[in-house]
Amino acid sequence: MITAIVTFLFHLDTVLPQLMSQSGLMVYGLIFLMIFIETGIVVLPFLPGDSLLFLCGSLAAISNSSLNPLLLIVLLGLAASLGDSLNFEIGKRFGEHISQSPRWQKIVKPKHLQQAHEFFDRHGNSAMFLGRFMPIIRTLVPFTAGGSEMKYKNFLIYNIIGGFSWVLLCIGAGFFFGNIAVVKNHFSLIMVMIVVISLLPIMIITLRNYLSNRGGLD
């Protein structure tokens, strides 16, 4: 089962077109669910987000595609917003237990939670918007916001704006650039590059914290 899921996640560029040829509605539902889970379930921040949206945009740009780009933006923007709302509630109700439980710490890494806390403290409410464009941070910031007793009204505004902006940007990039010859010929590599580039801010934060802690020890 786990092997099948991993294989599916790493071969989305071939699996999704196959599903599209069988049932367009099934693909909409599957993508909606993946975006909802990636943003809404705090223990699953590793699911594809940016790369999945880019892929959807590139598939929607094909002339005979069953995917409608505008419908994708509306549905997946809604999935991202609902996912973050669920994550906010999880953080509000169970944040302390999850962050302190040794069992949950094996999945929700304390260093990632600390990075999310620092990011939220540094940027305030706007962290809900900015965090959308950073994997892992994207999933942990609403969880952190819920645990910090942020007012849901304020959260909701940034949540909706951030969710739809993220979806629009990634799908738009895939729609306009995903079918350029060099991109199509190296699509798997492009997917990896998108993930790496998305993770750069987290890598920089981690490196800066490491150098800061090492400097304090010295």
Q: Where are the domains of the chain?
A: 2-217
- State yes or no: pLDDT of 216 exceeds 60: no
- pLDDT higher than 80, residue 73: yes
111 or 80, greater pLDDT: 80
Q: What is the mean pLDDT of residues 108-124?
A: 74
> pTM here?
0.76
Report the distance separating Cα 20 and Cα 8, nearest Å.
15
Give the distance, in angstroms, between the CA of residue 213 and the centroid of all CA atoms in the same chain.
29
State how far the alpha carbon of 101 is from the alpha carbons of 46, 47, 117, 154, in Å.
20, 23, 17, 29
* Residue in the structure block whose two tokens are 């740009």: 61
pLDDT over 80 at 142, yes or no? yes
Q: Cα-Cα-Cα-Cα dihedral of 11, 14, 19, 21, to 10°?
A: 180
Q: CB within 8 A of 61, min separation 6: which ones?
A: 69, 174, 175, 176, 178, 179
C-alpha to C-alpha distance for 143 and 94, rounded to whole angstroms: 9
